[in-house]
Structure 1
């Protein structure tokens, strides 16, 4: 599962076009996209860090290892004009590898370390290794809303809840700020 987002136009005329282009690149470079969510307008996170985002999610079928998929996602971001200058700052394209089946990477202790970081540490630290599932996917409406379209029954291998259960636990005020902008 891959989360797709962006809040700067980059080489495309709009963030919506940027997301669509990223989905095409994912299907060409990783493998077949077998599930695609609606595209949503979501508030910038953290609040005040830039313009609103456009977010979506896809599911791919691939035999590639998780690290290879992550490298391809980073190449797609770079080709779109992403510059990794500021953690959680405005960006042309953000592609997050959310999960690969029920893999936990690098291991449960490593996952728990990154998932347990305080917000201040999350904002300034980035792991050097792949962390799966994404350590905060279960807390973020901008991730779970698109996932509800394509994988409501997927079960988080650490948290033990489905996407639908994690979505139901979100603050209704956060959910109210997310609006679909395409089918």
Structure 2
């Protein structure tokens, strides 16, 4: 039996996938990831969050999951891309409305490709981050600390995960978000199309 590392994955959708509204497609994407990964997921609640950047489209349904992973980070990323593709995801522009989005947020204390590069991507000003796309996997996700739509769900499944560069936990990063941003991220009611 291999060594497992705790991975944290963010899910989001604000467009339907076929007949599935975003709340149902995000839940179905979690099911598919669990089946394909062959390990159980710890799942967050589903949340309704404003589109990012503001005005970029309908509200999103966001969630997070934690899983124990024995493979490489690149293998997990490929698995996530396969789940996205199963729901009809195509990539045409940064921060667009989307059918399905899965992001590998963290894998234990892995830093990729190295601390300096991860730090450079994390320090990019927002306007540059909107235009630039890394040509490789950056871990932890470089915009993690500023994204409430990732941190609030991730706090459901991995509140004590500690960023290997900054030393801050998910719970600490979520608490540091502006109060108005946290308040805009609301758990879905059962009548919102959640399973």
TM-score by length of 1: 0.96
One of 35, 51, 65 as aligned partner of 2:42: 35
TM alignment of 1:1-183, pairs within 5 A: 1-181=8-188
Query: Whole-Å Cα distance in 1 between the matches of residues 155 and 119 of structure 2?
Result: 24
Superposed displacement of residue 91, structure 1: 0.3
Query: Whole-Å Cα distance in 1 between the matches of residues 69 and 189 of structure 2?
Result: 26
User: For each residue in 1:75-113, what CA deviation from the matched residue of structure 2 results, as whole angstroms up to 9, or x when unmatched?
Assistant: 111121111011100000000000000000000011011
User: 4+ residue stretches of structure 1 with deviation over 3 A?
Assistant: none
1:48–1:65 CA distance, 2 compared to 1 (3 A) = same
Superposed displacement of residue 12, structure 1: 3.6
Structure 1: gaps of 5 or more residues = none
TM-score by length of 2: 0.91
**Cα RMSD (Å):** 1.2
Q: 1:64 is paired with a residue of what secondary structure?
A: coil
Alignment length (residue pairs): 183
Query: Whole-Å Cα distance in 2 between the matches of residues 86 and 132 of structure 1?
Result: 21
Structure 2: gaps of 5 or more residues = 1-7, 191-195
Superposed displacement of residue 182, structure 1: 5.3
**Contact 2:34–2:41, Cα closer than 8 Å, also in 1:** no
Q: 1:3 is paired with a residue of what secondary structure?
A: strand
